[in-house]
Amino acid sequence: MPDLLNLITDIEGVSVGHATDLALGSGVTVIVFDEPAVASGTVLGGAPGGRDTGLLDPSMTVHAVDAFVLSGGSAFGLDAAGGVQAGLRELGRGFMVGPVRIPIVPQAILMDLLNGGDKDWGLHSPYRDMGYTALKAAAKGTFALGTTGAGTGATTATVKGGLGSASAVSSTGHRVAAIVAVNALGSATIGDGPHFWAAPFEKDAEFGGLGMPDVADHRMRLKGMNTPATTIGAVVTDAQLTKAEAHRLSLAGHDGFARALLPAHLPLDGDTVFAASTARHQRDDMASLMELCHLATIVMARAIARGVYAATALPVEGAQKAWRDRYASSS
């Protein structure tokens, strides 16, 4: 894929912006569409947090969105979508209701309140302003991975989590890509070693090129038995999809969670995947949809590993070590 960045911005018409606060130990990532994109999503974790996720059900009326928001801050982070809406409203974006435009901005949040960052923010949380900042920073092309945006305060059971992305091209030339903030209750790495569960899908040593270990230790590793956690992400394609087909694509993204995280979709996870189509290229056959779902699983698994691989530890006392702190000599 010489012309690809291996990022979700490989999808024409998609921009990404981050707001990152290392002292807070949290951040916001926004995925913005040049034009409203047909969208859906699924929540398979038992402890989710989100905004406007209900309208993504295929039976609901609104079929297109202006942006997706991924945020830290747990329920406080839901303020971020308001900041993104404010910025989109300035740009004249939104769903028309009479003379009024309402930007449609579904959001998912992750729990990063216990990572050692300074959460003493006073009366109002900073997330609305961070959402606005992330929108203003949104751009096409390259963007940071790891400890940035929604991945800033993310952790896993074994090493620091982070923000990842990956892309692929189908046999018919359609592009599909994922972005994810990895804040798993379980682990993206195998046992106590450096290998990633997503290793069978790796491209060009994008997360170290270590392959699989001789023996895979699949004993359960968790952050804790009473600690909420969430991995949140999105899959986007340039292929034309109906809302029902986008819903199916989001489920395939969850398959990527199950390929790259062990365990996933637990009672204390809020695992959420959005999906969208920019519809830049026509398609209406079942074979191409099935290949897009196949690739959605793979790019999500790869994005998860890339997010953990790129992460760095927070600059706070007692911060969880990153993969590169423990295993840099392995790559």
Query: Which pTM was predicted?
Result: 0.97
| Residue (of 145, 147, 225) closest to 185 by Cα position | 225
pLDDT at 166: 98
Model confidence band, residue 1 (pLDDT cutoffs 50, 70, 90) = very low
| pLDDT greater than 80 at residue 270 | yes
The H-or-E segment that residue 280 falls in is: strand 272-281
The answer to whether the CB of 65 falls within 8 A of the CB of 93 is no
Residues contacting 293, CB < 8 A, separation 6+: 248, 249, 251, 252
Tokens of 11: 């999808």
Residue pair 329/208 in contact (Cβ under 8 Å)? The answer is no
Mean of pLDDT over the chain = 96
What dotted CATH number matches 8-330? 3.60.70.12
What confidence score (pLDDT) does residue 134 get? 98
pLDDT (tens digit, 9 = 90+) per residue, 212-241? 999 999 999 998 767 779 999 999 999 999
Nearest to 104 by CA among 41, 149, 42, 46: 41
Taking a C-beta distance cutoff of 8 angstroms, is the pair 101, 90 a contact?
no
Question: DSSP of 70-127, one letter per residue?
Answer: EE-SGGGGGGHHHHHHHHHHHTT-SEEETTEEE----EEE---TTSS------SS-SH
Specify the 3-state DSSP secondary structure of 299: helix
What pLDDT digit, counting tens, does each position of 118-172 carry? 999 999 999 999 999 999 999 999 999 999 999 999 999 999 999 999 999 999 9
CB atoms within 10 A of CB 29: 35
Q: Is 144 exposed, middle or buried (0-12, 13-18, 19+ CB in 10 A)?
A: middle
What number is the average pLDDT over the span 271-281?
Answer: 97
- 318 class by beta-carbon count within 10 Å (0-12 exposed, 13-18 middle, 19+ buried): exposed
Q: What is the pLDDT of residues 45-55, one digit of tens each?
A: 999 999 999 99
CB atoms under 10 Å from CB of 125, counted, come to 20
* Angstrom distance (rounded) from CA 56 to CA 246: 9
Percent of the chain exceeding pLDDT 70 equals: 99
Confidence at residue 224, expressed as pLDDT on a 0 to 100 scale: 74
pLDDT at 181 over 70: yes
Question: What is the rounded average pLDDT of the residues 33-58?
Answer: 97
Is a pLDDT exceeding 70 seen at residue 331? no
